[in-house]
Amino acid sequence: MSNVIHGTGKPRLVVITDILEQGEIVSAGSSTVEVTLTNFPSVQALADIHGVAGIIIFSLNNDNEETIAVVTGYLESTTIFTIKYWTNGAAKVGANYYLKDYAIDLPYCQRLTEIWMPDYRLSKRFNGKLKIKKKGFYYRATLDYSQYLSAEVLSKLRNLYRIDRKGILFYPRVDNNDVNYYVDIDPNESLEFYQLQHAQGHGGVIISLIGLERVPEASIYNLETSTTLGYGYMYGTKYGERL
């Protein structure tokens, strides 16, 4: 048995959004994809408002099966995105696509603290005995980057702190994507950061997340590492029915 549970990978956040752009695939390779645009006049306009790095493109491959890629950037004055890879083969020419959600792969924290808050109801009976009704647990997590975080990673957090986002899928360790939680930014915690001496980076960043769904147990048992890709589908499958 491993010395730790749930894997040893880095954390990932998938920020849930509405469909931001859609159209057709013009061409697709292993590292780039060219598209038509519907909602924005240019990719630059999309980047200015929402950012491009980390956005997820959904389409169909030559077998009409879903394939997904994470965008890493774009080529100026074109409608060509650069991507990491396709999850199920390249998208086919002429297939519809849509851009939705952002995958933010974070570096290791100085400390990742996970908390399960009991949702119990305590009542006192006439005979003086106490009765506890156990309803479940709410998950919380704190990602501590207070010592150092690069400007590149810090800029990716812009999509966490927007009022038009729909929530976050949090994967504490990306090598085990079956362990994940539907969360959002803790409304009681603010985003703080400062520049380190000689502009070497940023300090003071602590990301505080709070679960949006009650779960039936604190998941502190070991799970085998998952082979799923962890970009938003099939989340929560190892935790039974949500309450």
Domains and CATH numbers, the chain: 16-105 (2.40.10), 108-215 (2.40.30)
pLDDT digits (tens, 9 = 90+) for 145-156: 999 999 989 988
Question: 36 CB contacts (<8 Å, ≥6 apart)?
Answer: 23, 24, 26, 79
d(CA 119, CA 135): 6
For the chain, first and last CA: distance in Å? Answer: 30
- Stretches in the chain below the pLDDT threshold 70: 1-2, 222-243
Three-state DSSP at 170 gives: strand
Nearest residue to 172 via CA among 217, 213, 220: 220
Residue 32 vs residues 42, 95, 103: alpha-carbon distances, Å:
17, 15, 17
pLDDT digits (tens, 9 = 90+) for 99-140: 999 999 999 999 999 999 999 988 888 888 888 899 999 999
Write down the pLDDT at residue 75.
Answer: 95
Nearest residue to 13 via CA among 144, 131, 133, 185: 185
d(CA 118, CA 135): 8
Write down the pLDDT at residue 243.
Answer: 32
Question: 13 CB contacts (<8 Å, ≥6 apart)?
Answer: 102, 103, 104, 106, 160, 168, 169, 170, 171
Three-state DSSP at 182 gives: strand
Write down the pLDDT at residue 5.
Answer: 75
In contact, 74 and 81? CB cutoff 8 Å: yes
